[in-house]
Structure 1
Amino acid sequence: MTRWGITLPLTGVPLPAHRELVERLPDLGYTDVWTAETSGTDAFSPLVLASQWSSGLRLGTAIAPVFTRGPALLAMTAAAAAECAPGRFALGIGASSPGVVRDWNAMEHTRPYARTRDTLRFLRSAFEGKAVNAQYPTFSVRGFRLERPPASPPPLLLAALRPRMLRLAADEADGAITNWLAPADVAKVRAEVGPGTELVAPVFVCLTDDARKARRLGRMMISSYLTVPAYRAFQDWLGRTEPLAAMYRAWDAGDRWRAGMAVPDEVVDDLVVHGSAEECRARIRAYTAGGLNTPVIALLPTDDGDPVAQVEALAPCRD
């Protein structure tokens, strides 16, 4: 099944003001609401609200970092969200980045692959209501049992960018969440997880006919995100080492402005969907044609656009 998701909350829209939109999303053809967790809202609060506003949407985190909550707290928070949306909540977890974990949350960001794997295995046991007494390679848990285990344990998806983590997602999780890829890149990622693994990805959409404006915003985002080591390695694996070389050189030299200016138009056009609503919907469908099960629109703010109206314009029912 091909799904069609939206990332909430929308920029500039207060959380309680999303109710009317969430109630209408299924009629517009949306199947999913997903949240991110960086420096805005936490990953769970918007989903708990949405769970009470609509019974027809799958709700998922993309992603909840495995370092910024202890294993037990992560299990409790996810179990509470699952209780609010029985059978409709999916927990996406991942390593996040040193900036979020270390610089903003004052926690160590070490052995990200192993910590993600161990958290996945712990959550499997915890959601079954078992008492967990285990020494994992990256942490230990003694005597923890969920007081309110979910009646329907949520599917677990892993944030994964390269082969090792993608294969872990295919082998032990219920799906993979990837990020910052073009439609033409999906096949390479799909080859690592196989045909039976759900593949979810945010699709960055700037709904504007002003290509210069969209590319300016895209350059800023690309130079901020893709210089993070994990994303840089992902883009190298996807084959963008040479197109992004000038950006990396400027960033490594401390020249953030020049790094943004060095991102080629063709890279922005690969990684950021922009244009009319019809053009954007067609581009999103190119992701699904390439093997992405669940595109999740991540709407980029524009000065002249009402984000709620843009969500409506991008709805699959418009095709």
Structure 2
Amino acid sequence: MTQNWGMTIPFQDRSLARSRELVEQLPELGYTDVWSAEVSGVDGFVPLALAAQWAPGLRLGSAIVPVSTRGPGLLAMSAATLADLAPGRFTLGIGSSSPAIVERWNAGTFTRPYARTRDTLRFLRRALAGEKVSEKYETFEVDGFRLERAPEVPPKIVLAALRPRMLRLAAEEADGAITNWLSPDDVRTVRAEIGPDTELIARLFVCVSEDAERVRALARRMLAAYLTVPVYAAFHDWLGRGEVLRPMHEAWAAGDRQAALRAIPDEVVDALVVHGDAAACRARIAEYVANGLDTPVLAPVAGGEVPIAEAVRALAPGA
């Protein structure tokens, strides 16, 4: 397999400090990329800075860093630092995030998420190219910002995008689109919005386990936490799951969390979470790729009978 094959870091069952040995093994296993995330655990940049030293051949990507939890200049500085550590190997993934992360956890303001993401993208293009930026954008204003040390190779910038408007922005002005919580068939729907030439990246949650009921119980908790967020609810409405997920949304809105979990059908869980033995999981990931996914970013889920380190090795493209 010659296309990209990514892994999420740090791993779910260990701290970043304990991840070095497994990260170092990724290139020899056939992985091409490592991608971080930024929710309420590690930040989006430090794991990549370490991976740049631990596994110098890997592409490094953030999936994603919110555009409203840092100022534009600080975001440019962090991206420039990674681009300097790994010239030509760092891809900056940014996105609007969610009201909980931006407002409740970071004391920010979650308004006009599409415009804020677009404006941040346009600012970063100029700043990372070494320009002095003085510009009044629709959602913020920058006066006289210039990086002290612009990267020799500006990083590519990709956008978290779940619906047509943001997907089209990713295709027209960014270097790619990032998505998650979708099925192989959904890849075709997303690909139709961005065309054949835009890189499509998706985080795929994978549990190497043949105990389907155990995996589904675990996955329902993960799905309920995400699919009740308004942007993900709208994403799955667009993908055609509005009616089948309606009972979950109604139970969640009524405060009955257990009923909400029970209301998620098995077929939705099986569509959105990769599970089975390692061979079945690899075959399922291959379906995503066949339908137009350029970069699967695997996120092995703890809780199956296979430990994370073993799953990482078993899911490798050369396994």
TM-score category of the 2 structures, normalised to the smaller one: over 0.9
Shift in Å, 1:303: 5.8
1:171-182 alignment to 2 at 5 Å?
Answer: 171-182=172-183
1:52-67 alignment to 2 at 5 Å?
Answer: 52-67=53-68
Q: Is 2:38 the counterpart of 1:42?
A: no
Preserved contact between residue 228 and residue 252 of structure 2 (Cα < 8 Å)? yes
For 2:272, give the aligned amino acid: L
**Percent sequence identity over matched residues?**
62
Q: Is 2:272 the counterpart of 1:271?
A: yes
- How far apart, CA to CA, are the structure 2 residues paired with 1:11 and 1:188? 30
Preserved contact between residue 208 and residue 277 of structure 2 (Cα < 8 Å)? yes
- How far apart, CA to CA, are the structure 1 residues paired with 2:223 and 2:216? 10
- How far apart, CA to CA, are the structure 1 residues paired with 2:15 and 2:271? 31
Shift in Å, 1:301: 1.0
Shift in Å, 1:2: 2.0
The residue aligned with 1:142 is 143
Q: Is 2:169 the counterpart of 1:168?
A: yes
Give the 3-state SS of the residue equivalent to 1:244 in structure 2: helix
TM-score by length of 1: 0.98
- How far apart, CA to CA, are the structure 2 residues paired with 1:182 and 1:303? 21
Shift in Å, 1:293: 0.2
Q: Is 2:238 the counterpart of 1:244?
A: no
The residue aligned with 2:24 is 23
1:43-192 alignment to 2 at 5 Å?
Answer: 43-192=44-193
- How far apart, CA to CA, are the structure 2 residues paired with 1:11 and 1:91? 22
Q: Deviations over 1:218-270 (max 9, x none)?
A: 11111110010100000000000111111011011111111111100000000
Q: Size of the alignment, in residue pairs?
A: 318
Q: Deviations over 1:64-91 (max 9, x none)?
A: 0000000000000011011111110000
Shift in Å, 1:102: 0.7
For 2:144, give the aligned amino acid: G
For 2:35, give the aligned amino acid: W
Give the 3-state SS of the residue equivalent to 1:317 in structure 2: coil
The residue aligned with 1:296 is 297
Q: Deviations over 1:24-69 (max 9, x none)?
A: 1111110000011001100000000000011210000000000000
- How far apart, CA to CA, are the structure 2 residues paired with 1:260 and 1:307? 25
- How far apart, CA to CA, are the structure 2 residues paired with 1:231 and 1:271? 13
Give the 3-state SS of the residue equivalent to 1:178 in structure 2: strand
TM-score by length of 2: 0.98
The residue aligned with 1:312 is 313
Runs in 1 of length 4+ with deviation above 4 angstroms?
Answer: none
Shift in Å, 1:297: 0.4
- How far apart, CA to CA, are the structure 2 residues paired with 1:198 and 1:62? 14
Shift in Å, 1:284: 0.5
Give the 3-state SS of the residue equivalent to 2:243 in structure 1: coil
- How far apart, CA to CA, are the structure 2 residues paired with 1:213 and 1:303? 8
- How far apart, CA to CA, are the structure 2 residues paired with 1:299 and 1:43? 18
- How far apart, CA to CA, are the structure 1 residues paired with 2:13 and 2:3? 29
Shift in Å, 1:16: 2.4
Give the 3-state SS of the residue equivalent to 1:177 in structure 2: strand
- How far apart, CA to CA, are the structure 1 residues paired with 2:295 and 2:146? 33
RMSD: 0.9
Give the 3-state SS of the residue equivalent to 1:134 in structure 2: strand
Shift in Å, 1:20: 1.6
Structure 2 segments unaligned to the other structure (5+ residues): none
Preserved contact between residue 90 and residue 155 of structure 2 (Cα < 8 Å)? yes
